[in-house]
């Protein structure tokens, strides 16, 4: 997030949610948004293919066709430019490449965009006006925006919208991805990415390599590595031979599970380090038992870049070991002795190599934590980014044309399938399916279907139905609900026994981010006779 979570409760006078079912997936942030709307009269714009809970209290709700985000956002920006609602001073002083961008947006009038998105032109106008006229407007998004073959374009379009209206660098504004996992921000910050060391220092840049080579005492590769989705594909082709998996479960979380299964079976060696014998661990050659958050010391970095402490409450279970100790043991046996007396000692090493974390110490994290960048020990941290200038200097507009999703409905697969999360479960369900109350409350998967669609197929509420895509099929309970339109169906990906990712597409990824298109698969619903 460019801004802090607390600003959504107090500072934002308008909030634009696109592709985030906030009250289910980031409930505590959802409470804050709802409070701001109810108690301070903040305006709320919701764009989502499902009529999520917050849509009911929105000033404008746009139920757009999945995959048409760029068209919708360009439509809003077309209105803002044509009605003179842009922040001219901000555009002139803080941005560049406006002209090329404005030229592309010109044709995206609400009347042009309406048939593409399925949203009434007047609603697009209303949303644009609310966002642009607000004193301080915040955009929040989650995987609903990003899990598309145009995911990067969708995010850039949100940035365009914020740049156009000067909604950056001030409290209550910003472009705010709500990240879905406890330490997904931290994993990225720490360089668990194929192209960067810690703090996004590119591996292709010699000076960066030299810095890490000096610290680690070895020669380093400057060749970009494989993304997760690319690694699975390489394993499928037999080019990747060994995979080490630490607390991940690709056999439930990755697209096209038949493809993933073949890929893992193709490996010569699969190592898994986890707290449970996950669907992935069941296929491993060696399994190491690690520990849960309750058993470890360390830090997590949340979605607003706040680094916070994790504190050990109980001892290791059985013969399980601390995850950092397992990594150290392995490294040592591979001829590179690694030994740390505590996670804090590792953190001290991280600080020396990671400019945005350099000023953070465990001691300073007691209490409220710190937002990175925090370059020195007397720096207070940075809750709001881009205040005076952007990292690159001027904010760059991107001229982005709308592209359709990779797999559109046709006669054989007439529906659009989207996947996502439930309030009561988390990711691949490894933990929440074993949390007794959560699993008792929601023990099985469902497919959300509009009653009219179900009626055509003779499917009644609660009946088992079959969802079929080009990749495969699963059988699960039909839940009839008008929160989805007639051409859209939705399911959760937490349930391995009715795994949504059997259905999803691994062959088309966002060309920049390599993200799969979980939000748009062409699908067919069948009655099980």
Partner 1 sequence: MIKLTIDGKEIEVARGTMLLDACRQAGADIPTLCYDPDLRLAGSCRMCVVDVKGRPALVASCVAPAENGMVVQTESDDVVESRKIILELLAARHKFECPTCEKDGECKLQDYMYRYGVKESRYDGEGPHFGMEDPNPFIERDYDKCIMCTRCVRACDGITGAQAINVKDRGHHAKIAAPFDGKLADSTCVFCGQCIMVCPVGALSSKVAAGQGKPAQNKKVLTTCTYCGTGCTLELNVNNDRVVGVTSNRDENWSPVNKGALCVKGRFGWDFIHSPDRLTTPMIRENGGLRPASWDEALDFAAGKIKEIKEKYGPDSLAMFSSARVTNEENYLAQKLMRAVIGTNNVDHCARL
DSSP annotation of 291: -
CB of 392 to partner 1, least distance (A): 22
Q: Which residues contact 348 (CB under 8 A, 6 or more apart)?
A: none
Q: Quote the CA–CA distance of 132 and 83 in Å, as a whole number.
A: 10
Q: How many residues bind partner 1 (CB under 8 A)?
A: 147
The binder of partner 1 chosen from 144, 166, 172, 250 (CB under 8 A) = 250
Compare residues 315 and 529 and give the one whose CB is closer to partner 1: 315
Q: Which of residues 287-326 bind partner 1 (CB under 8 A)?
A: 287-290, 292-296, 298-304, 306-315, 317-321, 323-324, 326
Q: Which of residues 120-159 bind partner 1 (CB under 8 A)?
A: 147
Compare residues 123 and 261 and give the one whose CB is closer to partner 1: 261
CB of 252 to partner 1, least distance (A): 10
**Helical spans, DSSP H, in 254-385:** 257-266, 323-333, 343-353, 362-365
CB of 191 to partner 1, least distance (A): 5
Q: Nearest-CA neighbor of 476 among 454, 491, 460?
A: 491
Q: Quote the CA–CA distance of 122 and 444 in Å, as a whole number.
A: 40
Q: Which of residues 462-501 bind partner 1 (CB under 8 A)?
A: none
CB of 467 to partner 1, least distance (A): 20
CB of 131 to partner 1, least distance (A): 22
Q: Which of residues 401-430 bind partner 1 (CB under 8 A)?
A: 423-427, 430
Q: Which residues contact 439 (CB under 8 A, 6 or more apart)?
A: 432, 433
Q: Which of residues 253-282 bind partner 1 (CB under 8 A)?
A: 253-254, 268-269, 271, 274-277, 281-282
Q: Quote the CA–CA distance of 402 and 465 in Å, as a whole number.
A: 34
Q: Which of residues 435-464 bind partner 1 (CB under 8 A)?
A: 435-438, 440-441
The binder of partner 1 chosen from 178, 454, 488, 523 (CB under 8 A) = 178
DSSP annotation of 325: H
Compare residues 120 and 435 and give the one whose CB is closer to partner 1: 435
Q: Which of residues 88-127 bind partner 1 (CB under 8 A)?
A: none
**DSSP sequence for 432-490:** GGGSHHHHHHS-S-EEEE-HHHHHHHT--TT-EEEEE-SS-EEEEEEEE-TTB-TTEEE
Q: Quote the CA–CA distance of 330 and 319 in Å, as a whole number.
A: 17
The binder of partner 1 chosen from 121, 246, 396, 457 (CB under 8 A) = 246
Q: Which of residues 207-236 bind partner 1 (CB under 8 A)?
A: 212, 216-218, 220-221, 223-229, 231, 234
Exposure class string for 126-162: b at 16+ Cβ within 10 A, else e: bbbbbbbebebbbbbbbbbbbbbbbbbbbbbbbbbbb
As given in the structure block, the two tokens for residue 416 are 């659009």
CB of 208 to partner 1, least distance (A): 11
Element (H, E) at 60: strand 60-62
Compare residues 120 and 246 and give the one whose CB is closer to partner 1: 246
Q: Which of residues 188-207 bind partner 1 (CB under 8 A)?
A: 188-195, 197-198, 203
Q: Which of residues 358-397 bind partner 1 (CB under 8 A)?
A: 367-369
Rg over alpha carbons for the chain, rounded to the nearest Å, is 24
Site string for partner 1, 2-41 (x = CB under 8 A): ---xx----------------x-xxxxxxx--xx--x---
Q: Give yes or no for residue 237 binding partner 1 (CB under 8 A).
A: no
Query: Is there a cis peptide before residue 373, judged by omega within 30 degrees of 0?
Result: yes
Site string for partner 1, 58-87 (x = CB under 8 A): ------------------------------
- Dump strand ranges (E) for 199-332: 242-246, 269-274, 286-289, 298-301, 306-310
Compare residues 311 and 387 and give the one whose CB is closer to partner 1: 311
CB of 6 to partner 1, least distance (A): 8
Compare residues 90 and 426 and give the one whose CB is closer to partner 1: 426
CB of 478 to partner 1, least distance (A): 20
The binder of partner 1 chosen from 82, 85, 133, 180 (CB under 8 A) = 180
As given in the structure block, the two tokens for residue 66 are 């999945």
CB of 3 to partner 1, least distance (A): 13
Using the contact rule CB under 8 A, the part of the chain among 114-122, 130-138, 179-187, 384-392 near partner 1 is 179-187
Backbone angles phi, psi at 313, to 5 degrees: -105, -35
CB of 221 to partner 1, least distance (A): 6
The binder of partner 1 chosen from 58, 70, 327, 374 (CB under 8 A) = 327
Q: Nearest-CA neighbor of 45 among 111, 112, 105, 131?
A: 131
Q: Quote the CA–CA distance of 233 and 266 in Å, as a whole number.
A: 11
What distances in angstroms separate CA 82 from CA 117, 166, 270, 418, one per listed residue?
Answer: 20, 16, 57, 34
Q: Quote the CA–CA distance of 213 and 220 in Å, as a whole number.
A: 6
CB of 234 to partner 1, least distance (A): 8
């Amino acid at each position: 997030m460019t801004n802090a979570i607390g600003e959504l409760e107090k500072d934002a006078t308008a909030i634009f949610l696109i592709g985030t079912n906030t009250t289910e997936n980031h409930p505590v942030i959802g409470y804050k948004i709802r409070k701001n709307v109810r108690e301070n009269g903040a305006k709320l714009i919701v764009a989502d293919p499902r009529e999520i809970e917050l849509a009911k209290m929105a000033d404008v709700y746009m139920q757009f066709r999945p995959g048409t985000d760029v068209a919708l956002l360009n439509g809003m920006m077309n209105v803002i430019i044509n009605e003179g609602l842009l922040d001219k001073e901000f555009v002139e002083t803080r941005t560049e490449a406006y002209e090329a961008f404005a030229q592309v947006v010109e044709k995206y009038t609400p009347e042009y965009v309406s048939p593409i998105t399925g949203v009434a032109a007047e609603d697009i106008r209303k949303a644009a006006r609310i966002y642009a006229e607000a004193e301080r407007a915040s955009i929040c998004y989650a995987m609903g925006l990003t899990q598309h073959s145009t995911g990067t374009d969708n995010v850039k379009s949100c940035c365009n919208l914020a740049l156009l209206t000067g909604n950056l660098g001030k409290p209550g504004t910003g472009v705010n991805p709500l990240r879905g996992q406890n330490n997904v921000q931290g994993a990225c910050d720490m360089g668990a990415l194929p192209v960067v060391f810690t703090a996004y220092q590119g591996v292709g840049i010699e000076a960066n390599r030299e810095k890490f080579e000096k610290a680690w005492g070895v020669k380093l590769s400057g060749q970009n590595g494989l993304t997760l989705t690319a690694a699975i594909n390489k394993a499928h082709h037999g080019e990747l031979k060994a995979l080490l998996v630490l607390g991940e479960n690709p056999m439930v979380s990755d697209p096209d599970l038949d493809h993933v299964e073949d890929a893992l079976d193709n490996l010569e060696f699969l190592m898994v380090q986890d707290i449970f014998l996950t669907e992935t661990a069941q296929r491993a050659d060696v399994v190491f038992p690690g520990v849960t958050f309750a058993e470890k010391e360390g830090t997590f970095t949340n979605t607003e870049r706040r680094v916070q402490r994790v504190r050990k409450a109980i001892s290791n279970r059985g013969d399980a070991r601390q995850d950092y100790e397992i990594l150290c043991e392995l490294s040592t046996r591979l001829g590179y002795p690694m030994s740390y007396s505590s996670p804090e000692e590792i953190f001290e090493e991280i600080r020396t190599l990671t400019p945005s974390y350099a000023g953070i110490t465990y001691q300073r994290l007691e209490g409220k934590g710190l937002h990175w960048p925090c370059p020195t020990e007397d720096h207070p941290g940075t809750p709001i980014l881009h205040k005076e200038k952007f990292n690159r200097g001027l904010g760059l507009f991107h001229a982005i044309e709308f592209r359709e999703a990779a797999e559109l409905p046709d006669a054989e697969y007439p529906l659009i399938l989207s996947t996502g999360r439930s309030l009561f479960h988390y990711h691949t369900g490894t933990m929440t399916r074993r949390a007794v109350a959560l699993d008792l409350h929601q023990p099985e998967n469902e497919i959300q279907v509009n009653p009219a669609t179900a009626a055509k197929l003779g499917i009644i509420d609660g009946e088992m139905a079959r969802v079929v895509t080009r990749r495969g099929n699963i059988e699960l309970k039909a839940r009839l609900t008008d929160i989805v339109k007639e051409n859209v169906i939705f399911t959760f990906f937490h349930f391995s026994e009715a795994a949504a990712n059997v259905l999803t597409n691994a062959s088309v990824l966002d060309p920049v981010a390599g993200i799969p298109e979980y939000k748009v698969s062409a699908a067919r619903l069948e009655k099980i006779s």
